């Protein structure tokens, strides 16, 4: 994957609900809110090492699930195919608009676009 923060954010998006509330909170503050371990520790009233342990444990839990399921890997592999489908639907809509003006073709192209967008979420 692209970089550590991106990888961790993807793990959190896919598997964050598997974490404890404390793990979710510290992980979110560290990766999404960009707070330092020291800042989180000060706010939580614990040591910097304590925060680090919670974040590292959360990373480990999520990475273990990803290693077993491969959901993110499959999602990333599907993305270019979904983009190609969306591009083809857009081209169909353009050709239809310029040459045929068929309402059903336009509806189908819109449906394809909506369904690929839903798959990307």
Q: What is the pLDDT of residues 59-72, one digit of tens each?
A: 999 999 999 999 99
Q: Which of 121, 98, 97, 99 is nearest to 109 (CA)?
A: 97
Residue 44 CB neighbours (<10 A):
15
Predicted pLDDT at 103: 93
Please determine, for residue 1, whether its predicted confidence score (pLDDT) is greater than 60.
Answer: no
As a whole number, the mean pLDDT across the chain is 94
Question: Is domain 4-69 in CATH 1.10.10.10, yes or no?
Answer: yes
- Per-residue pLDDT of 49-62, as tens digits, reads 999 999 999 999 99
Predicted pLDDT at 12: 97
> Token pair of 99, please?
């040459």
Rounded-to-integer distance, Cα 31 and Cα 51, Å: 13
Q: What is the mean pLDDT of residues 25-31?
A: 97
Predicted pLDDT at 2: 60
Predicted pLDDT at 120: 85
Q: To the nearest 10°, the Cα dihedral for 53, 54, 58, 61?
A: 60
pTM of the model: 0.76
Rounded-to-integer distance, Cα 105 and Cα 63, Å: 43
């Amino acid at each position: 994957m692209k970089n550590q923060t991106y990888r961790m954010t993807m793990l959190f998006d896919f598997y964050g609900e598997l974490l404890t509330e404390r793990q979710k909170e510290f992980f979110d503050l560290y990766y999404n809110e960009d707070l330092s371990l020291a800042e989180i520790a000060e706010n939580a009233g614990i040591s910097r090492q304590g925060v680090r342990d919670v974040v590292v444990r959360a990373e480990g839990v999520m990475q273990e699930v990803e290693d077993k399921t491969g959901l993110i890997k499959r999602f990333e592999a599907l993305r270019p195919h979904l983009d190609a489908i969306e591009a083809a639907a857009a081209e169909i809509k353009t050709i239809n608009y310029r040459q045929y003006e068929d309402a059903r073709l336009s509806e189908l192209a819109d449906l394809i676009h909506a369904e690929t967008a839903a798959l990307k979420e």
